[in-house]
Structure 1
């Protein structure tokens, strides 16, 4: 059997040294569309110069702040890569989709860093026709913990082994109009740029591979949509202050194709923002659901 759940969870954690500097941060931000300011209100999508001060904090090394979702690609995403090659795990990449993602920040991510990333398979759940792998990676430097990242990986055709189904909590959408709605255009080459941060899955670039996975063309990385959404929340409701983010979780509810436009709805509370993301071009088809940004 390609997945041996007991062996995978019992395996020793894997550790690796990871480093990053301003170039990695800038490339990641550009992969999310930074450098094209798109306004804070619905319909404000015409953009303004890349030299807008609100965008320079993501693109200019002398003003750089690190969006917390960078944790998903630091060290070229070694946590997920290591998890998919862990003992007991042998899956076909064409059957793999990112089901959900959670990041907990222990302190702000520095612009330049060296850390130890420790990764393991935290859980394997049996969803019947599919399996869910929870791949956990924890990063710490000489000053202590930086972040904990949980990636929920959906593997089609690998369920039915008699394991636990796992949690199925859903965040009920507020019964009121959102406090803010913004739209973000996804460039045609967005996936090609984003994958330079380390996710080389051909599903996001190769049309033939995408067809093998059941799509008529390559799809955008779920983690790219994840980052685009966090940037929109930070810019719109947190005054551009990335250090206020404490945790960020989502469930990937649908795909995004390069060239589409995302509609991001936000409901604000005292210490959290609930978010839903849909694809404007496909009649508001769901993209991200059960999405929560906790902040200070």
Structure 2
């Protein structure tokens, strides 16, 4: 079997040294739609090096996102990438991510769940610098056709939306070139750029990266409910419930709770088709 759950979980973690600077942070922020309007002081905190802060979702691309790819190469994991789907993402930040830094990442398979028709591999990456832990990132990766091995199903993670109207709803446009710009941060999957490759995957045009929608949503919440202060975010989790396309709109509905924001994201151009679900942002 291409996935050996026991071997995968028991395998020694992969370690790597990563580094980033203000240009990496600025490019990532531009890739998730920051900088419009270009001279707006609220946007300059994402684009101007003298005022720069770092959204915690930058952790997904720090070091060009090498940790997830490395996790899929661990012992016990031998899968066809055409059968792999990024199902969800969780990030816990232990302190604000610096604008420039170096860190050691440790990647391992934290769990393998049996969903009968698919396996869910939880890839955990921990990053630390000279001052201690920076972030912990869990990527939930669905591998179609690899379930049915008799393992635990794992937690469902499904969270129904609150039974009331959202406290805030904002629309965030996805530029036509959004995926082309976002992929410069390290995700070179042609699904997001090549129409012929997208057609082979069953789409009539390239789709937006799920992690781009993930970053755009966090920025919308930070700007709308957290006073634009990215350092207030302590944990961010979401499930990729559907796709978004360049040129569409992300509609972000938000519900405020004590020290937490719940969110749901849809595409209004396609009858509110879901994009992100089970979305939770914990904050100080």
TM range (shorter): over 0.9
- Residue 157 of structure 1 corresponds to 145
Match of 2:17 in 1: 17
Aligned to 1:110: 98
Runs of 4+ in 1 over 3 A off after TM superposition: none
Tell me, in whole angstroms, the C-alpha distance in 1 between the residues paired with 2:207 and 2:257. 32
What RMSD over aligned residues (CA atoms) do the two structures have, in Å?
1.0
| SS of alignment partner, residue 256 of structure 1 | coil
Contact 1:105 1:148 in 2 (8 A): yes
How far 1:217 moved relative to its partner?
Answer: 2.0
Q: Once the 2 structures are TM-superposed, how far is the Cα of residue 169 of structure 1 from its aligned partner?
A: 2.8
User: How far did 1:5 drift?
Assistant: 1.5
Contact kept, 8 Å, 1:95 with 1:213, in 2: the verdict is no
Partner secondary structure for residue 264 of structure 1: strand
- 1:266 pairs, out of 254, 257, 275, with 254
The corresponding residue for 2:109 is: 121
Distance 1:160 1:209 in 2: 30
Higher mean displacement: 115-124 or 169-178: 169-178
Counterparts of 2:132 and 2:108 in 1: how far apart (Å)?
19
* TM-score, normalisation: structure 2: 0.98
Which one of the candidate residues 66, 81, 86 is aligned to 1:93?
81
Aligned length: 284
2:178 equivalent to 1:204: no
Structure 2: runs of 5 or more not aligned: none
Structure 1, unpaired ranges of 5+: 37-48
Inter-partner Cα distance in structure 2 for 1:114 and 1:17: 7
- CA displacement at 1:132 relative to structure 2: 0.8
Quote the Cα distance in structure 1 between the aligned partners of 2:5 and 2:197.
Answer: 27
Q: Which position in structure 2 is the counterpart of 1:276?
A: 264
Q: Distance in 2 between matches of 1:162 and 1:201?
A: 32
1: CA distance between counterparts of 2:69 and 2:242?
A: 22
Once the 2 structures are TM-superposed, how far is the Cα of residue 267 of structure 1 from its aligned partner?
Answer: 0.2
Matched, 1:147 2:135: yes
Counterparts of 1:218 and 1:129, CA distance in 2: 26
Q: What is the SS of the residue equivalent to 1:71?
A: helix
Give yes or no for the alignment of 1:56 onto 2:50. no
- Which residue in the other structure is 2:34 paired with? 34
- Tell me the secondary structure at the aligned position of residue 101 of structure 1: strand
- SS of 2:148's equivalent in the other structure is coil
How far residue 177 of structure 1 moved from its aligned partner, in angstroms, is 0.8
Residue in 2 that maps onto 1:3: 3
Structure 2: distance between partners of 1:94 and 1:216: 17
Matched residue SS, 1:172:
coil
